[in-house]
């Protein structure tokens, strides 16, 4: 199962084990079972501290658990943790042995304080780049909460269970068989979800903070760059973010960022965050803003930011860099069948539709790239485009048209997502030239029709928005509100690209610093 290079790397990593551990496999004689047995034996052979057992009694077979020697397993892998999940296996081995996780003391204390006894199941696909964070978070919670288990379930290994539970998006998380979440979630988000008192405790801490010089709202490329440029000036800088990394986390491949020939979104986001932390920026993650008052609206001349948990923060300047989110079709059935056939991440959810028929909505670069990727997995892809022509780069169009299992429908208006009450069964669209409605029978619909700015919280504030709800800024990234600047995909700056957002973030930060110097606040 492991090639020579991987075995050598794993052998070196296993030297960090703090004590003996056991791999306890539950087998059933199938071909998949043989592969798990082979993996368990190969891992055990790499360290004298690892023992393999084949007397497991897990309810899912084939599978294997990781346990401290002499204890019952609390971390399970129902499938082969390869691909993106190989890191999850390595961390499970080390952390089960007692190796300290790379999380803050505060987060680790929160995990231990949960005091729960639950069984967590997380369904994944091995090509999903959002899944490992969730698997690793739940594994850590299980390791530090006796009586709790965490099981990674590869949908390809347990297709019957996937069909039975109607799993059509990953990662999908269940706690004691109750669905509690899906999609990318950080460790902090999961802990906050499980800790019912976390919001009040966090609000109390935030209210106690002193005023900032620059407070950035948003943790994507624009926001991170703004924070770095501000912190390098030696001024007090903070970031409020719903999730650090922003939408970049959901981007698979980045190949157009100068000097970086190719990287992946999660890796790029992690490196951005590490860069920000290098400068001691105060990061307030998992927070949403509900209101903002400009410097000329407050008694002390500071910008006031109110969070959804009730906390209030003050700063001499604020940089809004809240980014954008996927645009929805807004047709009947879309909301009802989200995660049950309607999806927005082909890389994550595509493998769940193996051998099935799907549609991609949108003929831009994202839509055509999604159709090309999916064509290698599913039975057939129908691309539906509103315009009379595709808008993707010609090289992508040529590739799409060369594939035998794709169909392109132009000048079409999607009108309804059809389902049977539990999952998607068809897409209805209207031919815009003839007004005739058609139905395409399928199992999945991937929506790739552009972005909407994350500015809803500003609609009741004094910050001026365009007719597209983008923040209006001038050439210095100033808004119409005193002390408030903006940068990135949430603004009127054209062309929503990572490299443009980072440049705008730098510009906004320099403008904010200039404002502080000249206004004397």
CATH number at residue 115: 3.40.30.80
With tokens 């890796």, the residue in question is 267
**Structure-block tokens of residue 430:** 């209207």
Residue 330 within a domain: no
Burial class (CB in 10 A: 0-12, 13-18, 19+), 102: exposed
Task: Provide the 3-class DSSP secondary structure of residue 123.
Answer: strand
Quickly state the pLDDT bin for 495 (edges 50, 70, 90). confident
| pTM of the full structure | 0.75
Tell me: do 223 and 80 sit in the same domain. Answer: no
Q: Indicate whether 394 pLDDT > 90.
A: yes
- The CATH number for 418's domain is 3.50.50.60
Distance CA 504, CA 520 (A): 24
Tell me: do 140 and 83 sit in the same domain. Answer: yes
Calculate the average pLDDT of the chain: 95
Name the DSSP class of 231. H
Tell me: do 222 and 313 sit in the same domain. Answer: yes
Tell me: do 159 and 285 sit in the same domain. Answer: no
Q: Are 182 and 339 in contact (CB under 8 A)?
A: yes
Quickly state the pLDDT bin for 252 (edges 50, 70, 90). low
Residue 335 within a domain: no
Tell me: do 157 and 239 sit in the same domain. Answer: no
Tell me: do 510 and 409 sit in the same domain. Answer: no
Q: Indicate whether 224 pLDDT > 90.
A: yes
Q: Which of 520, 509, 483, 518 is nearest to 297 (CA)?
A: 483
Q: Indicate whether 93 pLDDT > 70.
A: yes
Tell me: do 438 and 385 sit in the same domain. Answer: yes
Burial class (CB in 10 A: 0-12, 13-18, 19+), 477: buried
Q: Indicate whether 251 pLDDT > 80.
A: no
Strands (E), 262-353: 263-264, 282-285, 289-293, 303-307, 312-320, 324-326, 342-343
pLDDT at 57: 93
φ/ψ of residue 53, rounded to 5: -125, 150
Residue 129 within a domain: yes
Tell me: do 484 and 372 sit in the same domain. Answer: no
Domain of 233? 199-325+452-519
pLDDT at 124: 95
CB hemisphere CA count around 518 (13 angstroms): 8
As a residue count, the chain comes to: 521
Tell me: do 465 and 441 sit in the same domain. Answer: no
Residue 499 within a domain: yes
Distance CA 404, CA 400 (A): 9
pLDDT tens across 352-392, in order? 899 999 999 999 998 999 999 999 999 999 999 999 999 99
Tell me: do 210 and 174 sit in the same domain. Answer: no
Distance CA 286, CA 106 (A): 15
Of 400, 430, 449, the domain-final residue: 449
Q: Which residues contact 182 (CB under 8 A, 6 or more apart)?
A: 169, 170, 171, 172, 173, 339
pLDDT at 20: 98
Residue 337 within a domain: no
pLDDT at 163: 87
Q: Indicate whether 198 pLDDT > 80.
A: no
Residue 336 within a domain: no
Helices (H), 381-458: 394-402
Burial class (CB in 10 A: 0-12, 13-18, 19+), 485: buried
Of 449, 468, 497, the domain-final residue: 449
Helices (H), 144-251: 159-165, 187-194, 198-207, 221-231
Find residue 215's DSSP bridge partners: 238, 318
Quickly state the pLDDT bin for 292 (edges 50, 70, 90). very high
Cα separation of the two ends of the chain:
63
Dihedral over Cα of 329, 331, 335, 337: its sign:
negative
Distance CA 486, CA 472 (A): 8
CB hemisphere CA count around 144 (13 angstroms): 20
**Can you tell me the mean pLDDT for 194-214?**
91
Distance CA 148, CA 278 (A): 35
Q: Are 143 and 96 in contact (CB under 8 A)?
A: yes
Cβ neighbours, 10 Å, residue 363: 28
Residue 70 within a domain: yes
pLDDT tens across 396-415, in order? 999 999 999 999 999 999 99
Name the DSSP class of 335. T
Task: Provide the 3-class DSSP secondary structure of residue 241.
Answer: strand
Distance CA 493, CA 119 (A): 47
63-68 and 412-419 strand pairing = unpaired
Tell me: do 222 and 236 sit in the same domain. Answer: yes
Tell me: do 300 and 347 sit in the same domain. Answer: no
Of 169, 196, 223, the domain-final residue: 196
Domain count, the chain: 3
pLDDT at 128: 86
Name the DSSP class of 236. -
Alpha-carbon torsion angle 101, 105, 110, 113, nearest 10: 90
Residue 23 within a domain: yes
pLDDT at 206: 96
């Amino acid at each position: 199962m492991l090639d020579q290079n991987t075995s050598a790397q794993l052998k070196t990593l296993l030297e960090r084990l703090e004590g003996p551990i056991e791999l306890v496999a539950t087998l059933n004689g199938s071909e998949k079972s043989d592969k798990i047995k082979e993996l368990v034996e190969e891992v055990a052979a790499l360290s004298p501290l690892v023992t393999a057992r084949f007397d497991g009694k897990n309810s899912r077979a084939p599978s294997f658990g990781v346990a401290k020697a002499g204890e019952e397993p609390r971390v399970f892998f129902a499938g082969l943790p390869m691909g993106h999940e190989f890191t999850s296996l390595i961390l499970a081995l080390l952390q089960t042995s007692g190796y300290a996780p790379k999380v803050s003391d505060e987060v680790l204390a929160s995990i231990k304080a949960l005091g729960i006894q639950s069984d967590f199941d997380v369904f994944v696909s091995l090509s999903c780049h959002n899944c490992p964070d969730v698997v690793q978070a739940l594994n850590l919670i299980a390791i530090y909460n006796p009586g709790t288990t965490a099981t990674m379930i590869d949908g390809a290994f347990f297709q019957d269970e996937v069909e039975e539970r109607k799993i059509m998006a990953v990662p999908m998380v269940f706690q004691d068989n109750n669905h509690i979440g899906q999609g990318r979630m950080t460790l902090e988000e999961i802990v906050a979800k499980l800790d019912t008192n976390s919001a009040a405790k966090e609000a109390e801490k935030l209210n106690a903070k002193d005023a900032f010089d620059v407070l950035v709202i948003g943790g994507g490329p624009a926001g991170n760059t703004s924070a770095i440029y501000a912190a390098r000036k030696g001024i007090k800088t903070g970031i409020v973010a719903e999730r650090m990394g922003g939408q970049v986390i959901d981007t698979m491949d980045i190949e157009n960022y100068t000097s970086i020939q190719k990287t992946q979104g999660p890796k790029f986001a992690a490196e951005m965050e590490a860069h920000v932390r290098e400068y001691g920026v105060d990061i307030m993650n998992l927070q949403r803003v509900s209101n903002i008052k400009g410097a000329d609206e407050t008694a002390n001349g500071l910008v006031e930011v109110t969070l959804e948990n009730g906390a209030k923060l003050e700063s001499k300047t604020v940089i809004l860099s809240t980014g954008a989110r996927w645009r929805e079709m807004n047709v009947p059935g879309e909301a009802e069948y989200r995660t049950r056939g309607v999806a927005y991440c082909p890389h994550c959810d595509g493998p769940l539709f193996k051998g099935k028929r799907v549609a991609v909505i949108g003929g831009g670069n994202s839509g055509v790239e999604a159709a090309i990727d999916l064509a290698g997995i599913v039975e057939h892809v129908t691309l539906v485009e509103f315009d009379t022509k595709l808008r993707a780069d010609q090289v992508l169009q040529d590739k799409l048209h060369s594939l035998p299992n794709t169909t392109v429908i132009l000048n079409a208006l999607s009108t309804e997502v059809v389902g049977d009450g539990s999952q998607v069964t068809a897409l209805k669209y209207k031919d815009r030239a003839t007004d005739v409605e058609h139905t395409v029978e399928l199992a999945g619909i991937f929506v790739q029709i552009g972005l909407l700015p994350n500015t809803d919280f500003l609609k009741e504030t004094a910050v001026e928005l365009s007719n597209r709800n983008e923040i209006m800024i001038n050439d210095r990234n100033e808004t119409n509100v005193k002390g408030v600047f903006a940068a990135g995909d949430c603004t009127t700056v054209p062309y929503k690209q990572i490299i443009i957002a980072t440049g705008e973030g730098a510009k906004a930060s320099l403008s904010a610093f200039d404002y502080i110097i000249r206004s004397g606040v």
